[in-house]
Amino acid sequence: MSDSSKDRNSSIVRALKILEAVAGSSQSITPTEINRLLNLPKPTIHRLCNQLEEEGFLKQRMDGRGLVPGPKLNKIAMGVFSNNDFLRSQRHLILQKLSEKLGETCNISIPDGGEMIYFDRVETHWPLRVQLQIKDRVPLHCTASGKLFLSELSSIQRSRLLAKLSLDRHTDNTLTTPEALKPALKQIRKSGIGIDNEEFLQGMIAVSVPVRDSEGRMYAGLAMHAPTARLSLEQALEHVPLMREAADELASLMNDLADDED
């Protein structure tokens, strides 16, 4: 076998081909379907899929019937989204318009391991606000977008992830055990709305909605937050329809990018 043939059949190239197959599928895809597309040995596909899942590049669909992009693959996709000047400006414009409509700080965050990373952010003009920056990291268990992401995982995935996290107490309202989080995440999953009721910062509330791909998978959270001195949680929840409209616009931008690359 020539060196070029060896390179084409290396584990790295095969793993990249698997990621390409999963990312390019309009729905979840099984190892058997990947095998039909790539014509690779079944043991190799299962081994690489397991490794990619362990590393967070792939994850099982909620019902366990196929593979979908994991948090790390979504992070790569969002990086491409960020580096496209036109899409970056359009994304920020959507966020800015939402912030102006709500009169509060809005942000987009993406999951990365056991945290959420601020991907974009527009500050309100009010002097009383949270001072967090793009690329800052916040916990999953006590933030609106983080809890929304946790609610989207299967029970097995969520249990495994929570077992690895340090569920530190940040305020009196912070939920610090998987048992305490379970009913809250169940309600979030049912409503599709992430809620932080003074759980991360005392005197601050937040609400989040998912930004989804064409198959309905969450790859980012769109959130607004405000001090309780200015806005109650009930009042913040009244903004959800506008937030969902903005999330749909952001999703359209990302999905248009994916379509252009097909």
Residue among 204, 199, 203 at smallest CA distance from 185: 199
For residues 40 and 125, state if they share a domain. Answer: no
For residues 104 and 225, state if they share a domain. Answer: yes
The structure's pTM equals: 0.76
For residues 26 and 148, state if they share a domain. Answer: no
For residues 103 and 139, state if they share a domain. Answer: yes
Residue 60 to residue 154: CA distance in whole angstroms: 8
Residue 118 to residue 122: CA distance in whole angstroms: 11
Q: Collapsing DSSP states into helix, strand and coil, what is residue 3?
A: helix
CATH code for the domain of 209: 3.30.450.40
For residues 19 and 79, state if they share a domain. Answer: no
Q: What's residue 4's pLDDT?
A: 46
Query: Which residues form the domain of 23?
Result: 3-69
Residue 65 to residue 210: CA distance in whole angstroms: 22
Tens of pLDDT, residues 70-96: 878 877 776 766 666 777 889 999 999
- Pull the structure tokens for residue 22: 């999963």
For residues 28 and 143, state if they share a domain. Answer: no
For residues 165 and 51, state if they share a domain. Answer: no
How many structural domains is the chain composed of? 2
CATH code for the domain of 62: 1.10.10.10
State what percent of residues in the chain have pLDDT above 90. Answer: 57
Q: What's residue 87's pLDDT?
A: 78
- Report the sign of the C-alpha dihedral through residues 63, 49, 257, 98, in that order: positive
Domain final residue pick, 45, 69, 93: 69
Cα distances (Å, whole numbers) of residue 178 to 8, 52, 62, 162, 256: 44, 25, 19, 7, 37
